[in-house]
């Protein structure tokens, strides 16, 4: 049972970032060829939902 959970976690830990990167790359490719469109915006929003691009935090120490 624990091995199944570990396998699920490992799969999601790899699949989600890869899917987000693929959607973002596809969105940029479509925009480069045809300009902004509804599909490219949808792909970008989907990639942001899966894995948002976080701003770097400033540290004060």
Q: pLDDT per residue over 36-50, tens digit each?
A: 999 999 999 988 888
pLDDT at res. 30: 94
- Beta-carbon neighbour count of residue 8 at 10 Å? 10
The residue among 59 and 47 whose pLDDT is bigger is 47
pLDDT at 52 over 80: no
Measured between alpha carbons, how far is 41 from 5 in angstroms, rounded to an integer? Answer: 34
Sequence spans of domains, the chain = 17-47
DSSP character at residue 53? -
Q: pLDDT per residue over 4-35, tens digit each?
A: 999 999 999 999 889 999 999 999 999 999 99
Say if CB 36 and CB 20 are below 8 A apart: no
């Amino acid at each position: 049972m624990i091995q199944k959970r570990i396998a699920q976690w490992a799969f999601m830990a790899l699949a989600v970032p890869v899917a987000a990167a693929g959607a973002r790359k596809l969105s940029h490719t479509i925009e480069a060829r045809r300009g902004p469109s509804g599909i490219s915006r949808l792909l970008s929003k989907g990639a942001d939902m899966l894995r948002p691009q976080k701003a770097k935090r400033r540290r004060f120490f």
